[in-house]
Chain A
Amino acid sequence: MNLLQAVRLAFGAILANKLRSFLTMLGVIIGVFAVVALVSLGQGATSQVTAEIQGMGSNLIVLAIHGRGGMDSLTLSEAESLAKRPGVGAVAPVVDGYATVKFATESSYTNLVGTTPAYAVVRNHFADRGRFLADVDVQNRLPVAVLGADVAERLFGDMDPVGQEIRINGAAFTVIGVLEPKGFSLGGSSDDFVIIPASTAERLLRRQGIRTVYLQAETAAAIDMVVNSLESLLQLYFRDENAYNVFTQAEILDILSEVTGILTLMLGGIAGISLLVGGIGIMNIMLVSVTERTREIGINKALGAKKRDILLQFLVESIVISGVGGFIGMILGYGAVKLFSGLFGFTITYSPQVVFVAFTFSVFVGIFFGLYPANKAAKLNPIDALRSE
């Protein structure tokens, strides 16, 4: 008996018991569907996070000061002076906090970032209406504000905020610009904040000193050198390596992609388990089927079926169930990925490898879980099988 013939016989047996075959298949369909959909979701999250981190600014180095004793921050000029160190392109010191921002009757509690003009370059976040901070704003502690896109939208709606007067924690500020929208990020919206000059922020928040500094290395190759020189400088300054933290974009990326990688693996693992359960379902039904069809097996053996023929017949049956199930699951999974990314404007990476692996795995599930029942059928003694009722 050749393979084509075995496939024909398998389809015959499967169609003879449509509902049961379908329910058995459903286990595999759900398994493969879950693998394809969840892993795509995970991979989508990974690529989104990667894109986001890379969009934070190129060659970015973040310096976080925790301080030690009375020395808990850098002064603005100390922070600015870091720009003179070799390999450093630009420096954006940040004084941050929260503030209530008001315009007319609209009010919003949001993040306040006090910084310098370099911030736009270092964080790759520019004004798309009006202008960003200028040196004069910082030098003269001017009450000017650049709004994140979300804040502008909340306070002003369709109106142009540039030139309007708002109140931040009660003090009057003039809006000089609105930032380009960046969309969602890990920590929520990247557009939900207000930028004012660092000097103004120190006074407004009644807090002296810089705790966060964003630096841009001149080149990617200079990053390590800058990090090392910053660390030795800060060690000299604070004499405590717990007082500060220097990390780079690449490090953040590493940590986050590790997290999302684990997430993807977990999702895939859970989905894989459901595929395994589907396989056990196949084995269960195939065992029942072998018992039910013992007499049929006996008759076939009397008519000259060899062990190999019976084995092939049952094995192909289980492979067809799992393969067809896998194919349907694959299509559904692909459809779900498309639908999901369409509905939520989420970039979900649809990777052909995942689909291929899930489908191949489902076929292997069919072989693996079909082998035992098929072998059981093939080993039946013809006369015992014929006698069974």
Chain B
Amino acid sequence: MIRLEGITKAYQLDGVVVEALRGIDLEVKEGEFVAIVGPSGSGKSTLMNIIGCLDTPTTGKYWLKGQEVSKLSDNKLAEIRNLLIGFVFQSFNLLPRLTALENVERPLIYRGVAKKERRKLAEKALERVGLADRMFHRPNQLSGGQQQRVAVARALVGDPAIILADEPTGNLDSVSGKEVMSLLRELHAQGRTVLLITHDAEIARQAERRVKIFDGRIQEEGEVGL
């Protein structure tokens, strides 16, 4: 599903080169639930953004579903994000103007789904995350946990093959965090590939497989139960 080969990413900051990733090789199979663990600043988010086609690597090769991503146009990448990937961010990234329902509908708008159908799918997604009674609330009328659940609903509404979650519990209390984690586990149980990024070993333990990253390099990989 996902194959990275020698991925590096360097940022130029005031003439100083920051090497966020220094040669990542990683393969994630279809249906896997992988946690990428590492301390803050180790390059986890950079890696996820590259996997999510939001950013491009400085060097290295990336195959997604057998396609080499670096060869694709911006439009094609947007299409991949829209059809293949669902994002869950640490800071929720909901659109503050819109209701929960409208937020969840957004990816379907860019997919060209008709209004009625869109609404139905969005309602269903919100029901799945237990927010059927909060559809017309705006993000600022929802708790952090609820907002993140809206974000999960938005990630799953388009039925993507891959879910990318970057510290999804980072801004949440432990109860809300558990709710979100159980949703992610559910998504995995339905056969989706889930990539979870976290600095929390406790949370990472819930994944099938853990990849430790430190200073832009993969340090070790561990199997379930280790």
- Using CB atoms and an 8 Å cutoff, list the residues of chain A in contact with chain B: 1-2, 5, 9, 12-13, 16, 295-296, 298-309, 382-383, 386
Contact with A along B140-171 (1 / 0, CB 8 A): 00000000000000100010000000000000
**How close is A225's CB to chain B, nearest CB, in angstroms?**
75
Cα–Cα distance between A302 and B184 once the two chains are bound (Å): 19
Expressed in whole angstroms, the minimum distance between the Cβ of A306 and any Cβ of chain B is: 4
Q: Report the minimum CB–CB distance from B167 to chain A (whole Å).
A: 14
Using A304-B82, A305-B78 as known contacts, list a sample of 9 further A-B pairs with CB atoms less than 8 Å apart, ordered by residue number in A: A1-B110, A2-B112, A12-B98, A300-B106, A301-B78, A305-B82, A306-B78, A306-B79, A306-B110
Minimum CB–CB distance for A2 against chain B, Å: 7
Q: How far does the alpha carbon of A309 sit from the alpha carbon of B81 in the complex, in Å?
A: 14
Interface residues of B in 87-107 (CB under 8 A from A): 87, 89, 93-95, 97-98, 106-107
Closest Cβ of chain A: how far from B78's Cβ, in Å? 4
CB distance from B22 to the nearest CB of A (A): 19
Main secondary structure of the interface of A (DSSP, over half): helix
What are the 5 A-B residue pairs with the smallest beta carbon separation, nearest first? A304-B82, A304-B110, A303-B107, A306-B78, A383-B55
- CB distance A5 to B109 under 8 Å? yes
Q: A303 touches which one: B49, B75, B112, B154 (CB < 8 A)?
A: B154
* Least CB distance, B81 to chain A, in whole angstroms: 5
| Known contacts A1-B112, A5-B109; A386/B75 CB under 8 A | no
Q: Cα distance A308–B75 when bound, in Å?
A: 9
Q: B131 → chain A, closest Cβ, in Å?
A: 18
Chain A residues near B106: list those with CB within 8 A: 299-300, 303
B216 within 8 A of A: no
Chain A residue with Cβ nearest B55: A383
Residue pair B74, A307 in contact (C-beta under 8 Å)? yes
Q: Which residue on chain A has the smallest CB distance to residue B157?
A: A303
Known A383-B54, A383-B55: A303·B82 in contact at CB below 8 Å:
yes
How far, in whole Å, are A295 and B55 apart by their CA atoms in the complex? 15
**Would you give the shortest CB distance from A216 to chain B, in whole angstroms?**
74
Which chain A residue has the least Cβ–Cβ distance from B106?
Answer: A303
Q: How far is the CB of B77 from chain A (nearest CB, A)?
A: 9
Taking a contact as CB atoms under 8 Å apart, the answer to whether A304 and B55 are in contact is no
Q: Is B57 an interface residue (CB 8 A)?
A: no
Shortest CB–CB separation between residue B40 and chain A, in angstroms?
16
Q: What A residues does B111 contact at CB under 8 A?
A: 304
Residue in chain B with minimal CB distance to A381: B55
In this assembly, does B52 line the interface, its C-beta being within 8 Å of a C-beta of chain A? yes
From A16, A298, A303, name the one whose CB has the most chain B CB atoms within 10 angstroms.
A303
Min Cβ gap A301→B in Å is 7
Q: Which of B49, B81, B93, B95 contacts A304 (CB 8 A)?
A: B81
